[in-house]
A and B are shown apart, each in its own frame.
Chain A
Amino acid sequence: MTIEIPLLILLVMTAAGAMLVKDLISSVFILGSYSFALSLVWALLGAVDVAFVEAVVGAGLATVFFLLTLFRTTEKDDVIRRPPVPWAAIIGLPLLGLLLLYGAGDLPAFGDVSSPASTHISPYYLENSVAQTRTPNVVTAVLMDYRSFDTFIETIVIFTAGIACALILRKGGE
């Protein structure tokens, strides 16, 4: 589809702009627009739930948290001082990108029905999830039953991060 190309241009431009802009608050704004573009890409790929999380957390909450952080830090780090880029990064990172593109060439195409994931795992879940888990929604069954430990530990991680944020951001007290 032709809509993907301008969206990807938008994504790359916002990512580069967030790194190259001079002051931190503008960087936060550009990062917000990066999240908008990324959420549109997710929606285009059909991952509506991921798009929703990206829109809510990436574009909304992260902007607010970044602004809170800027608000509570001193004026000293308002302007980014950028050291010169080392030669190893200039040579190594494009090589790493080429390696990743080479690896991505072997991946099955998006929505390919003969890919391993569509021939082995997905039919099993679709056929057996109702009988095994008594859950009408397949995505919920995979998330909460087949991968319950994964989800459980993810919840622990997010809960710990929330406690840490609350401890750092609370007002007064040592």
Chain B
Amino acid sequence: MSSFFVFVLVTLTMLMLVYLYRVIRGPSVFDRVLGLNGISTKAIVLLVLLGTMFERVDMFVDISTGYALLNLVGALAIAKFLEERGTSEK
């Protein structure tokens, strides 16, 4: 059971690396925004999985909820920024 969780954790972290490639290399700003959102969804799942491993799901669910809420605020701020500033870089 525990080794299954570790396998899932490592796989999800590898997936985060794939997203990270798009965040760092991504030619346009939108690629970076989508990559960041993908990383944050993986991070939310990872936090709940960590809580299941440590058998303290109640605390970790709080963190991941805070994550998800502030990720929304951050995405809105980025969207507002891009709307008013425009995408100058190509």
A residues near B (Cβ < 8 Å) are 1-3, 6-7, 9-10, 13-14, 17, 21, 23, 25-26, 29-30, 32-33, 36-37, 39-40, 43-44, 46, 48, 51-52, 55-56, 59-61, 63-64, 67-68, 70-71, 75, 78
A75 closest partner in B (C-beta)? B88
A68 to B66 Cα, complex, angstroms: 21
Chain A hits for B78, CB < 8 A:
29, 63, 67
Chain B hits for A68, CB < 8 A:
77
**Residues of B in contact, count (CB < 8 Å):** 43
Contact B6 A55 (CB under 8 A): no
Contact A29 B33 (CB under 8 A): yes
A78 to B29 Cα, complex, angstroms: 13
Chain B hits for A39, CB < 8 A:
43, 47, 63, 67
Chain A hits for B59, CB < 8 A:
48
Contact B20 A67 (CB under 8 A): no
- Min CB distance A62 to B, Å, is 9
A56 to B69 Cα, complex, angstroms: 9
With contacts A21-B24, A43-B50, A46-B54 known, is A29 near B10, CB below 8 A?
Answer: no
With contacts A6-B13, A71-B84 known, is A32 near B6, CB below 8 A?
Answer: no
Of A37, A60, A71, which one neighbours B71 at CB under 8 angstroms? A60
With contacts A40-B47, A48-B59, A48-B60 known, is A32 near B74, CB below 8 A?
Answer: yes
Of B20, B32, B88, which one neighbours A78 at CB under 8 angstroms? B88
A32 to B74 Cα, complex, angstroms: 9
Contact A71 B63 (CB under 8 A): no
Chain A hits for B23, CB < 8 A:
17, 26, 29-30, 33
A163 to B6 Cα, complex, angstroms: 45
A1 to B7 Cα, complex, angstroms: 11
Chain A hits for B85, CB < 8 A:
71
- Min CB distance A27 to B, Å, is 10
Which residues of chain B from 37 to 60 have any CB-CB distance to chain A below 8 Å in the complex? 39-40, 43, 46-47, 50-51, 54, 56, 59-60
Contact A36 B43 (CB under 8 A): yes
